[in-house]
Structure 1
């Protein structure tokens, strides 16, 4: 043991005191707290373990609880489980210990056991803890964690019921309201804004997450407010010297260093779109690094993405401040955030400003309002100038479509329609967008389209059983037979791409347009009809179609969208014309000019970043 280290000396002194039984509980807690503050969680856990083994006082229950908390914090979940169970052996009505036991069981993958622990508390009208605590808050803790876990397990109906129960007990729970709104979207439960308990309509609106708002309204002001609310509540307020000046190199020289920040460099839409971008960067001009916390999914796509980088820094288990420091120390000129405020985002990293130029791209097709992110990659269709007042970032306008793509994607052989129960002679409308993008007005429009196009079917992705049941019920209300809605299972990317050839016309969603899906169907030569609105995300597919040379498939109201779909459905020759155009010109269009896209992007980023090198050197 290195006795020169204060923490090591402190542990040695504390251990001696414990062995001699000279340390009381407050002293123990203070010593363990100091060790934790110094990053010595294992030492703090050992200290608790020694004290518990040598002390038989009634206060052992508190030490057992704290021991479990320390063990859980350092990822030793099986030992934490044992510590909490020891506390519960001493007092079975120790509710806080039982709640935390549930968390450890969840970490250990024993999810049904975790639910059982929480359920035992949630069913109590006034759970009473041996050490006090607000009975309502204890019950809400159990209800909300059950709902969260069930949602992650895709048991949406059970999860929603628990959220409703929680909100009826306490309406002003912004985080619960956020999940309540989005879980209704996932099930196609319309209207999404369904009253519950004493929750006001304003609370529902102001608690809506940015992701949910993107699918509910194309009002860019509402989207901006959702982003700003999240940032105000969740993102660190860092006002000190930017990290790129505090920890970066004194002078930046040589090739432009571009860092990509993401948790989605794997089998994910972002990972599927960006692989060729990383590969085509000109290594004579730029160095490409990834800073990622992506899951190691073992796929060939993940391996390809990693090969496309000059260096990969994994940030799993690294706190945000340390991650920002590592980026700054790497001397990154431009940090491209591929995450925004989407699931798993780490906006605090950007708030520390680890790079002189920080750019939002692709992962969030909207403003993020993240402090420190000054730019967003766009084109003039997806982000017209009238949108700019609702965007905290400034646009980097490209002549190419803002959305990069991958020309190297693997495609399976074309299947037969019978494989997916599609009628051979039917006109096949299609939407493979995620179901949470489906809205009541658009689905009603689809039903009216089917009603006006004889011998047509709608081929849909089905995410879950509740969504499917709700869509079938809605179709029945429009007089559309159930067999005219055909549900597609999720399949591997090569098969997913191949089956686009079986559709006649893809129907886009609104206001949450297709992004990757639109790129996929156009690459496969199948036309998509879209409706473009006022927001970035409601103009994605319109941008792709414009750059592919098919602007006549862009409509600007649901009425026009519906009329155009009926016209095309009643005239299959138009579909043949669109498919012929895409076959002859689609893959050579500006949309899929990926080498040109990469060169233009490098030019734009160099123009922004290189002049800042001298300024930053002078500012030190």
Structure 2
């Protein structure tokens, strides 16, 4: 704590604030003057003083506009993250003006921050009920209704109340079709529910408008067309990413780069997450004689051994939670990072603006987004020649750093649970078990229909699936019935702890990969546990991931390149269980010794490329 006496400037500022408070307490300050002075204080970074000014004015001034002052007071308190006090301010405003819709909306946000979700939803529903009947005669009500609907839909989606969320999104788009963000969520929530066809027009919103509004993550599940994927990435960058054209931060703030090469990993997923599960051994295997390894992360502290293991393998860890993007980029530059590896891309929780400021001279995309990000701060992407063939390169803004066998690292120390039984998992003992444990949003209508034809063609076979939610399960069962596949032939697995999830792969005979969004971590887990995967490879990085893994593990004959070939191969293997057993025997006896799981060699190859790029840059300076 700084106990030094205030400077003359600080003393003058304190005196001015006290004078303002005295006028506010007198009851003689006009509301416009109050708002002007409070705004000036807030602009000067004195939010606490601005809130105190409102508080004193409200107590002392019997104005008919006190509810407006209370609203502004609540907004200030909310910005200061004083959510309980903000709630009280909004409730005071509403005690004076019960139909003050904006106060109900903001009160809902404070209740959300306080974890009182049902109360927040009730506030927003009240606004909908109050303002919707006023349309179209009162067009100002439209923004209030849309605000309430869209935030309710967002909250319901996070609670996995997908049907309610989707209904609100549809109503919102019917009222105002030109809401790109709402259309984006509408597409993805249909994917999560396997609500096919995903591009279901609503109101005046056409198929093409939904396509253009599709997020990159959702686009990866919809098509292997690299041009459409690039379009989705570029749209996000255009709308959301800062346009920084000044001197890169690594030049403005960077320390002199000498000695060991410094590698920084940028991520919000260095915890119990697919990225964390894949990368733990990568960090441990870095050659600390040649490299200094830093983590720059805003990952949740989930208390897991995995999180502790990841951070324990770092030379330095800089926590970026609560640190703004500009400051984060400056910290990276000041640390003298040579190579910054972004493990997030444009996935959930990403902070692409950190990369836009270019805190490191070499910035590389890896794992989190197996596609082009179109981010102006990212020049390289780690790949192999299978996932990024020459014909794919024109659709990527990054240049490839090719690893010799497969792009993917994994963890050979992953914990495996006890061997389960088929009976305990609801599987028939003598059936051929196809499985697919990818997330439901990766299931396309085309591929699921293909799986139904495969199951129908292999007598007695079953398909073992994850069901992320009740709507996805219901929609899958509906499509199964349309293909003449009875409900008992689809067996739905619940979520499980990582070690138990790994163990149950051993019960399946053949994993059916999704397309165009292949399995990544899931495919690695499956092969590590000795279960073969049948994949279909397409035109994009993400649609060729499992093919890369199968090539490196020594099973290229399980890679197909068209839907008819995929179906034919699956039916052949399902009709000949001995063939599946031979694949399992090969993986059990030789899989762990293959190139795919030779992590020391993979890490050395990656390090050699990082060192080459870093030294080239150092020599140019």
TM-score class, shorter: over 0.9
Residue 360 in structure 1 maps to residue 355 in structure 2: no
Structure 1 residue 247: deviation in Å?
Answer: 1.2
Task: For 2:128 and 2:620, locate their aligned partners in 1 and report how far apart those are by CA, in whole Å.
Answer: 58
Residue 13 in structure 1 maps to residue 16 in structure 2: yes
- Residue 79 of structure 1: which of 77, 85, 97 is its match? 85
- For these two proteins, the number of residue pairs brought into alignment is 613
- Residue 427 of structure 1: which of 416, 423, 432 is its match? 432
- Residue 141 of structure 1: which of 147, 150, 153 is its match? 147
Residue 519 in structure 1 maps to residue 524 in structure 2: yes
- Residue 528 of structure 1: which of 529, 533, 536 is its match? 533
Task: For 2:248 and 2:478, locate their aligned partners in 1 and report how far apart those are by CA, in whole Å.
Answer: 55
1:102-113 → structure 2 map (5 Å cutoff): 102-113=108-119
- Residue 557 of structure 1: which of 550, 562, 579 is its match? 562
Residue 508 (structure 1) aligns with:
513
Task: For 2:492 and 2:321, locate their aligned partners in 1 and report how far apart those are by CA, in whole Å.
Answer: 37
Residue 293 (structure 1) aligns with:
298
Residue 52 in structure 1 maps to residue 58 in structure 2: yes
Tell me the alpha carbon deviations over residues 241-279 of structure 1, each in whole angstroms, 9 at most, x when there is no partner.
Answer: 111111111x21111111111111111000000000111
Tell me the alpha carbon deviations over residues 16-35 of structure 1, each in whole angstroms, 9 at most, x when there is no partner.
Answer: 22213364433433333333
Residue 458 (structure 2) aligns with:
453
Residue 340 (structure 1) aligns with:
345
Structure 1's 39 and 588: CA in aligned 2 closer, same or farther, altered over 3 A? Answer: farther
Residue 101 in structure 1 maps to residue 101 in structure 2: no
Q: Is the 8 A contact 2:224 2:543 kept in 1?
A: yes
Residue 280 (structure 1) aligns with:
285
Residue 201 in structure 1 maps to residue 215 in structure 2: no
TM-score (normalizing by structure 1): 0.96
Unaligned runs of 5+ in 2: none
Structure 1 residue 3: deviation in Å?
Answer: 3.7
- Residue 542 of structure 2: which of 528, 537, 540 is its match? 537
Task: For 1:175 and 1:146, locate their aligned partners in 2 and report how far apart those are by CA, in whole Å.
Answer: 14
Structure 1's 8 and 172: CA in aligned 2 closer, same or farther, altered over 3 A? Answer: farther
Tell me the alpha carbon deviations over residues 200-246 of structure 1, each in whole angstroms, 9 at most, x when there is no partner.
Answer: 22211100000000000000000000000000000001111111111
Residue 128 (structure 2) aligns with:
122
Structure 1's 195 and 133: CA in aligned 2 closer, same or farther, altered over 3 A? Answer: closer
Task: For 1:8 and 1:412, locate their aligned partners in 2 and report how far apart those are by CA, in whole Å.
Answer: 65
Q: Is the 8 A contact 2:150 2:169 kept in 1?
A: yes
Task: For 1:481 and 1:12, locate their aligned partners in 2 and report how far apart those are by CA, in whole Å.
Answer: 79
- Residue 37 of structure 1: which of 19, 43, 46 is its match? 43
Unaligned runs of 5+ in 1: none
Structure 1 residue 593: deviation in Å?
Answer: 0.7
Structure 1 residue 6: deviation in Å?
Answer: 5.0
Residue 610 in structure 1 maps to residue 615 in structure 2: yes
Task: For 1:165 and 1:181, locate their aligned partners in 2 and report how far apart those are by CA, in whole Å.
Answer: 14
Task: For 1:127 and 1:454, locate their aligned partners in 2 and report how far apart those are by CA, in whole Å.
Answer: 57
- Greater Cα offset, 208-217 or 69-78: 69-78
Structure 1 residue 47: deviation in Å?
Answer: 2.7
Q: Is the 8 A contact 2:253 2:330 kept in 1?
A: yes
Task: For 2:619 and 2:36, locate their aligned partners in 1 and report how far apart those are by CA, in whole Å.
Answer: 49
Task: For 2:341 and 2:585, locate their aligned partners in 1 and report how far apart those are by CA, in whole Å.
Answer: 37
Task: For 2:471 and 2:321, locate their aligned partners in 1 and report how far apart those are by CA, in whole Å.
Answer: 34
Q: What is the DSSP-based 3-state SS (H/G/I as helix, E as strand, rest coil) of the residue aligned with 2:586?
A: helix
Task: For 2:252 and 2:382, locate their aligned partners in 1 and report how far apart those are by CA, in whole Å.
Answer: 27
Q: Is the 8 A contact 2:242 2:353 kept in 1?
A: yes
Residue 249 (structure 2) aligns with:
243
Residue 323 (structure 2) aligns with:
318
Tell me the alpha carbon deviations over residues 339-394 of structure 1, each in whole angstroms, 9 at most, x when there is no partner.
Answer: 00000100011001111000000000000001110000000001111101000000
Residue 233 in structure 1 maps to residue 239 in structure 2: yes
Q: What is the DSSP-based 3-state SS (H/G/I as helix, E as strand, rest coil) of the residue aligned with 2:130?
A: coil
Structure 1 residue 8: deviation in Å?
Answer: 6.6
Q: Is the 8 A contact 1:3 1:9 kept in 2?
A: no
Residue 173 (structure 1) aligns with:
179
Residue 4 in structure 1 maps to residue 7 in structure 2: yes
- Residue 489 of structure 2: which of 471, 476, 484 is its match? 484
TM-score (normalizing by structure 2): 0.96
- Greater Cα offset, 394-403 or 426-435: 394-403
Structure 1 residue 540: deviation in Å?
Answer: 0.3
Task: For 1:42 and 1:258, locate their aligned partners in 2 and report how far apart those are by CA, in whole Å.
Answer: 40
Tell me the alpha carbon deviations over residues 27-71 of structure 1, each in whole angstroms, 9 at most, x when there is no partner.
Answer: 433333333334333333223223322322233222211211111
Residue 443 (structure 1) aligns with:
448
Structure 1 residue 13: deviation in Å?
Answer: 1.0
Q: What is the DSSP-based 3-state SS (H/G/I as helix, E as strand, rest coil) of the residue aligned with 2:32?
A: helix
Q: Is the 8 A contact 2:440 2:472 kept in 1?
A: yes
Q: Is the 8 A contact 2:20 2:53 kept in 1?
A: no
- Residue 568 of structure 1: which of 573, 577, 583 is its match? 573
Task: For 1:237 and 1:5, locate their aligned partners in 2 and report how far apart those are by CA, in whole Å.
Answer: 39
Q: Is the 8 A contact 1:224 1:390 kept in 2?
A: yes
1:368-387 → structure 2 map (5 Å cutoff): 368-387=373-392
Q: What is the DSSP-based 3-state SS (H/G/I as helix, E as strand, rest coil) of the residue aligned with 1:227?
A: helix
Residue 257 (structure 2) aligns with:
252
- Residue 270 of structure 1: which of 263, 272, 275 is its match? 275
Task: For 2:419 and 2:58, locate their aligned partners in 1 and report how far apart those are by CA, in whole Å.
Answer: 66
Q: Is the 8 A contact 1:432 1:517 kept in 2?
A: yes
Q: What is the DSSP-based 3-state SS (H/G/I as helix, E as strand, rest coil) of the residue aligned with 2:401?
A: strand
Structure 1 residue 297: deviation in Å?
Answer: 1.4
Residue 25 in structure 1 maps to residue 25 in structure 2: no
Structure 1's 451 and 168: CA in aligned 2 closer, same or farther, altered over 3 A? Answer: same
Structure 1's 40 and 256: CA in aligned 2 closer, same or farther, altered over 3 A? Answer: farther
Q: Is the 8 A contact 2:131 2:144 kept in 1?
A: no
Task: For 2:59 and 2:337, locate their aligned partners in 1 and report how far apart those are by CA, in whole Å.
Answer: 51
- Residue 599 of structure 2: which of 576, 594, 600 is its match? 594
